[in-house]
Structure 1
Amino acid sequence: MKRFLILALIAFSFAGALRAERSMPRKDYVTRIESCEAIIREFQASADYQIPQAVLQNAQAIVITNQFKAGFLFGVKDGYGVIMVRRPDGSWSIPAMLSAGEASFGLQIGANSVETVYILNDVDIARRLYKGRFNIGVDAAAIAGPRVAETTKINREILAAPILVYTKKTGLFAGATVKTGWIAANNVGNRAFYETRYGLPEILFGDWVALQPEAEPLHQYIAQITQ
């Protein structure tokens, strides 16, 4: 009986979370876009976390996530993010909404969130999100990326890695193999923010969805730092 009640509570919690996701107003997705922009700007403004120019110039897609404790009783890790891909002409797609969870870095002591930037060196990885959840470090190899202070560790092997991971969690060194949970397309969020019926493929690789003013600062900043 006790086990049944626990399982019921978990199911109820996740059902409530899904209902909340469906009912979120557009302004809340604007906040998420702005949060992801703040994360990448903070990374690049810090000598301890800055991503090297050589890594950014090689990037074929960039994912920014913010993960946090979603459950008071169970400590479930959940979160959100955005993805942008580099198109064949060198320009960047508009940001698409993602869901993210189960960051295996764990939460820092005294903190309630984990901010992460993923550099994807293979644009085909973004297409795998069409099929559902993508497990970073499982569905594609992921290693800790070198920071500006570690430029001597940048080599051809690191730049060829499918995914480079940057997080504010300390204790990782460049080249270390990591697993950081999953990301998935947030089609509900994309439709609400862009007010469109199109999904992830069209948003990332098509020209049918217009860049919204609220996402323009993030779009411009990514284009600036990846030149």
Structure 2
Amino acid sequence: MINRKILALPLTLALSATMTATLAPAALADRQDGIEKIEDVVEVFDEIMADRNTRIPQSLIDSSAGIAVIPDLAQGGFIVGGKRGNGLLVMRQPDGSWSNPAFLTLTGGSIGLQVGGKSSDVILLFRDRDDIDDLMEGNFEFGVSASGTAGPVGETALDSTATFADILSYSRSSGLFGGVALEGGDLDFDDDRNEDFYDRKNITPDQIFRGTNLDAPDTVQDLWSMLGQYSTASSRSSSSGSGSGSGSNASPSRSTARSGLTCNQDSQTKNIGPLSNVRAAKNAARQRIEEACGGLSVYQAEFAMHGPVSDSPYVTNSNGSWTFTFSGGTPGWESRNSTPEVLSVVTVFPNGDVVIDSLD
């Protein structure tokens, strides 16, 4: 008599082996798509940064909380005209290094004016972590959550009085590269591609950005290496204050010099218009010191001032203002584990008054 239980096990193993043999090539192919996308990103970013006349200023990259690159974005009449592009986003880590890449898609919207060519390469610099958090929570849309503002290019030192939006956008089409405005369009994470690339079901962008033991191909190292060439990045292997009346206790004008970094404290209050929340106040405080210390070419605030509001060094005062106490130095100082060169205390009022309380 034939023992059917004995036959059942080999049959099950045979079916399992057949299914594995069938699925494995598909899984490898899915991961290969991600590998090729990273290779495209490395090539595009490297080509753009190689031209000293059109490269993105390193100080902007150093002060960015995240970088998104969408290569070969299909286009209609506009650079992005109801089309879809695939790319990736890396986020700045607390130690200054870049995170694992998370794949994303850009759909719809328009970038700049009509240009020739059938596709474009798009780069987005996220200067504030809060926008990345909005993206992870599915609450991000250009023109609603934020606008992509044309970013500066070239090696010329940035104007110290210039202020920049939280997202700077660039595009290259038909050999031309420059900062362009981005309005409309949805930026979303590509969950399927992230699952395939990291070989983990239901992996989230937050897990990707924070993960240290992910099963990622060696091409990620190539991405980090390339970014390290154009930014001051580490290798991968709350203060108290009290508010005062608007400008009433502003200190006299003076200069603070540390290791070649000179910051000028203006006794006059600067008003930037009404502010509705602490997130806007944080950006205003940071940009005020960036201006006072000569611009992003020579000064960079600590990472906490580019991160989530919950991690920002501030207190809310009884009069409704916010006081921020934060360090800064020459670009890349925190990544190099250098001692901060400047300690700033800035109070921001809901009416838009921004006052430098101290600058030492």
TM-score (norm 1): 0.75
Question: Where do residues 22-61 of structure 1 align in structure 2 (5 Å cutoff)?
Answer: 25-61=30-66
Query: Is the CA contact (8 Å cut-off) linking 2:75 and 2:120 kept in structure 1?
Result: no
Determine if contact 1:202/1:208 at 8 Å carries over to the other structure.
Answer: no
Q: Residue 192 of structure 2 is aligned with which of 188, 192, 208?
A: 188
Question: Does 2:112 align with 1:108?
Answer: no
- Which of 79, 92, 97 matches 1:91? 97
Q: Distance in 2 between matches of 1:180 and 1:35?
A: 25
Match of 2:166 among 162, 165, 175: 162
Q: Is the 8 A contact 1:107 1:113 kept in 2?
A: no
Which amino acid in structure 1 is aligned with residue 52 of structure 2?
Answer: A
Relative distance call for 1:117 and 1:41 in structure 2 (3 A) is same
Gaps (5+ residues) in structure 2? Answer: 1-26, 233-360
Is contact 1:36-1:81 (8 Å) kept?
A: yes
What CA distance in whole angstroms lies between the structure 1 residues aligned with 2:184 and 2:156?
22
- Cα deviation, residue 224, structure 1: 3.0
Moved more, 128-137 or 47-56: 128-137
1:196 alignment partner, SS class = coil
2 CA distance for matches of 1:143 and 1:172? 15
Q: Alpha carbon RMSD of aligned pairs, Å?
A: 2.9
Deviation per residue, 1:150-189 (Å, 9 max, x gap): 544464512xx21011112599986x75426221100100
Residues 59 and 220 of structure 1, relative CA distance in 2, 3 Å threshold: same
Whether the aligned pair in 1 keeps the contact of 2:56 and 2:152 (CA below 8 Å) is: yes
Query: TM-score, normalised on structure 2?
Result: 0.49
For residue 129 of structure 2, what is the aligned residue in structure 1? Answer: 123
How far apart are 1:216 and its partner, in Å?
1.6
CA positional deviation for 1:120: 0.6
Q: What CA deviation, in whole Å up to 9, does each residue of 1:133-160 have, x standing for no partner?
A: 63234311331110015544464512xx
- Aligned position for 1:199: 204
The letter of the residue matching 1:94 is N
- Residue 57 of structure 1 deviates from its aligned partner by 1.1
Q: Is the 8 A contact 1:146 1:154 kept in 2?
A: no
Where 1:100 maps in the other structure, the secondary structure is strand
Q: How does 1:2-41 map to 2 (within 5 A)?
A: 25-41=30-46
3-state SS of the aligned residue for 1:64?
A: strand
Secondary structure of the equivalent of 2:163?
A: helix
On the 8 A contact 2:82/2:109 being kept in 1, the answer is: no
Deviation at 1:92, TM superposition (A): 1.0
After superposition, the Cα gap between the structure-2 partners of 1:146 and 1:154, relative to the gap in structure 1 and judged at 3 Å, is farther
Structure 2 equivalent of residue 213 of structure 1: 218
One-letter amino acid of the counterpart of residue 36, structure 1: V
The letter for the 2-side match of 1:188 is D
Identity %: 25
Aligned to 1:135: 141
Larger deviation, residues 165-174 vs 40-49: 165-174
Find the aligned partners of 1:226 and 1:104 in 2 and give their Cα distance: 29
Structure number with the higher strand fraction is: 2
CA distance in 1, matches of 2:46, 2:110: 24
Q: Deviations over 1:200-223 (max 9, x none)?
A: 110012334244212221122113
- Measured in 2, the distance between the counterparts of 1:121 and 1:65 equals 17
Counterpart amino acid of 1:182?
A: D
User: Contact 2:122 / 2:172 at 8 angstroms: preserved in 1?
Assistant: yes
**Counterpart for residue 150 of structure 2:** 144
Aligned pairs, how many?
A: 198
Is 2:54–2:178's contact at 8 Å kept on the other side of the alignment? no
- Secondary structure in 2 matching 1:25: helix
- SS at the partner of 2:105? strand
The answer on whether the counterparts of 2:150 and 2:168 sit within 8 Å (CA) in structure 1 is: yes
The residue that corresponds to 1:8 in the other structure is: none
1:76/1:50 CA distance change after superposition, 3 Å: same
Structure showing greater Rg: 2
